[in-house]
């Protein structure tokens, strides 16, 4: 089963610990997204807001958006959702994690040694 990555940085969840998850669910352009604990500290998340109370505690289900604060519901927009960045391969995910942690771009792997023919 594939896990949904953070919509901002692409990091994936690790094995959960007991208790409440530190990850946050939100709605971004009428699509349910997850936000990792690190990205939650950013104040420019560009999340959808409730039209009644301006809260960002929204959930998306069965073609409608519901505010968890005041209970207001509205239908989702019919426009196609904005694509979120997807990291497809494990090597790209590891490279992104190294860049995030070390703050550097990892070097590409060395090419395999050339074989010489012996007559």
**Residue 39: closest CA among 108, 85, 80:** 85
The whole-model pTM stands at 0.58
Cα distance between the two ends of the chain: 52
Q: CB of 40 within 8 A of CB of 70?
A: no
Contacts of residue 18, Cβ cutoff 8 Å, sequence gap at least 6: none
The pLDDT confidence band at residue 100, using thresholds 50, 70 and 90, is: confident
DSSP letter for 39, please.
G
Q: pLDDT by residue (tens digit) across 14-70?
A: 777 788 888 899 999 989 999 999 998 887 788 999 999 999 999 998 889 999 999
């Amino acid at each position: 089963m594939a896990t949904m990555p953070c919509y901002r940085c692409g990091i994936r969840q690790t094995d959960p610990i007991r208790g409440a998850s530190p990850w946050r669910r939100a709605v971004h352009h009428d699509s349910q997204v997850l936000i990792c604990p690190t990205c939650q500290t950013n104040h420019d998340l560009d999340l959808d807001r409730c039209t009644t109370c301006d809260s960002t505690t929204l959930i998306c289900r069965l073609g409608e958006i519901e505010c968890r604060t005041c209970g207001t519901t509205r239908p989702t927009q019919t426009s196609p959702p904005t694509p979120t960045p997807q990291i497809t391969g494990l090597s790209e995910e590891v490279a992104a994690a190294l860049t995030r942690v070390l703050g550097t771009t990892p070097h590409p792997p060395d090419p395999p040694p050339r074989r010489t023919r012996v007559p």
